[in-house]
Chains A and B, each alone.
Chain A
Amino acid sequence: MGELLQVETAQEALKNQEYTQALVDLLFQLADDDFILAYRGSEWLGLAPHIEEDVAFSSMAQDMMGHAVMYYEMLEELGVGKADDLAQLREASAFRNAILVERQNGAGGYNDDPHYDWAYAIVRSYVYGLHKKVRLESLLKSSYSPLTLISRKMLTEHRYHLMHWQVWLKQLANSTPDARARLEAAIAKVWSDAGELSDLGPNAASITGFGLIEAEATLREVWLKETQAIFEAANLSWPGEPGAAKERGRAGEHTADLIQALATLSEVYRIDPAASW
């Protein structure tokens, strides 16, 4: 199976063990990124600056959760496990999300005096969203047809998320000195993790070799170029090369924040897997 071959179905993918492994590795990154950030988004419920924002944020978290579900279902098709189990029963070390998406929303806990950082929410969501756009556009050319189809669909939804965060970024950047200072602090914090987003993990060579997605350097270049243009348009100084956390989420290394998040989000499922909402 070379780059020029197109794989149409899960059954076809399963004929080649190496291809399947690369596909599974990539799908976990895609699924876990959206899943964990959607969870962090859901933790803002009732805490966003105003009611309209509460509706918007929940709506976007719901879209992202929907995208994660699609990826988990694709993993299920490949025989990796039941989608719900994959989302809720894995240990932190089995997660492949970037560290950026697992960080807590701010000081305190959802049920324990939350002092969440709205500027961080905006910058994290936007920077992640800009990377996700580049990733989805690259997946339009993926060798795995189910991924190209679903990416096309996700992009139609995702562009509304980007429009939303663009409005916020511009508003805060051109608002009071306090808002601007908080925005800059949030950019610095996001930037110290953001470099990992285009990391394709330990199996990267195989993932790109099979034409599942473009090379890390390509994704990174396009993403940084587009992000830089947006920062400049908002009169924000460019933070330069993004850093990465000392843990490598793509290799299953995570912070205590993810362990906390998983414990909370899977609590009900672990007690009663048949519970319905």
Chain B
Amino acid sequence: MAQVNEHVHEHQEATCWELLQEVKDPEIPVISMVEMGMIHKVKVESGVAYVEVLPTFVGCPALEIMKKNISEKLVEGEGINEVQVRFVYDPAWTSDRIALDARDKLKSFGIAPPPVGFQPGDTWEVTCPYCDSPYTTIENLFGPAACRSILYCKHCKNPFEALKPIY
């Protein structure tokens, strides 16, 4: 019996991960929270889904919205009656957690993805998401959301946003 239960839970957890692909980052609607690398763990026990989320920024005002969106989505799953979302800080979210294929989606949305494998002391060089030119300048480290900066492309003369390297 225990084994059967385990099997059911595994199946339910897989369903949850699929459903979570549909929960988008409230501030970047082309990327899911799974692709952002924000979902750490999903566990299902007796109809309750426990989700551990890694915040990108401690004071991100979108966290409560994310919590609500996750809960509303997961109760659609068969046999899920309750959802408990918890924010955890171990491991810490870093921008390297963003899925590689999600980086192209960010670009298509006009947001330059953060560099991969950024180390302290590295220089943050950003290429334009529109024309790929490296000839860009940072206009403002702080953009409309804490996780983004505002840049300007001197080649195609477009302003654009970039996700900050968090490392």
Contacts and interface: CB of A to CB of B under 8 A. Distances in A.
B17 interface: no
B89 interface: yes
B89 A62 contact: no
A55 B58 contact: no
A64 B142 contact: no
A240 to B, nearest CB: 30
A63 interface: yes
| 5 shortest interchain CB distances as A-B pairs | A66-B59, A59-B142, A56-B142, A149-B89, A66-B58
Interface in B57-93: 57-61, 89-90, 92-93
A150 B57 contact: no
A69 B59 contact: yes
B92 A149 contact: yes
B153 to A, nearest CB: 17
B8 interface: no
Interface string A53-75: 00110011011111101100000
A16 interface: no
Count chain A CB atoms within 10 A of each CB in B90, B141, B143, B166 and give the residue with the most.
B141
Interface of B: 55, 57-61, 89-90, 92-94, 139-144, 146, 150, 164, 166-167
Given A59-B146, A149-B90, A152-B92, A160 B58 contact: no
Contacts of A163: 141
A90 interface: no
A64 B57 CA distance: 11
6 contacts: A55-B140, A55-B142, A152-B89, A153-B55, A160-B164, A163-B141
B138 to A, nearest CB: 10
Contact of A63 (B59, B139, B140): B59
A64 B140 contact: no
A78 interface: no
A55 B145 CA distance: 9
A157 B55 CA distance: 12
A223 B109 CA distance: 41
A66 B147 CA distance: 13
Contacts of A67: 58-59
Contacts of B141: 56, 160, 163-164
A150 B94 contact: no
A52 B92 contact: no
B21 to A, nearest CB: 25
A156 interface: yes
Contact of A150 (B89, B93, B150): B89
Contact of A52 (B57, B90, B139, B146): B139
Interface string A131-157: 000000000000000000110111011
Given A149-B92, A160-B164, A70 B58 contact: yes
Given A70-B58, A149-B92, A156 B139 contact: no
Nearest to A52: B140
A156 B94 contact: yes
Contacts of A64: 59
Contacts of B59: 62-67, 69, 157
Nearest to A50: B140
A8 to B, nearest CB: 11
Given A55-B143, A157-B146, A66 B57 contact: yes
A62 B146 CA distance: 8
B90 A156 contact: no
A163 B142 CA distance: 11
A156 B142 contact: no
Contacts of B144: 55
Contacts of B58: 63, 66-67, 69-70, 150, 153-154, 157
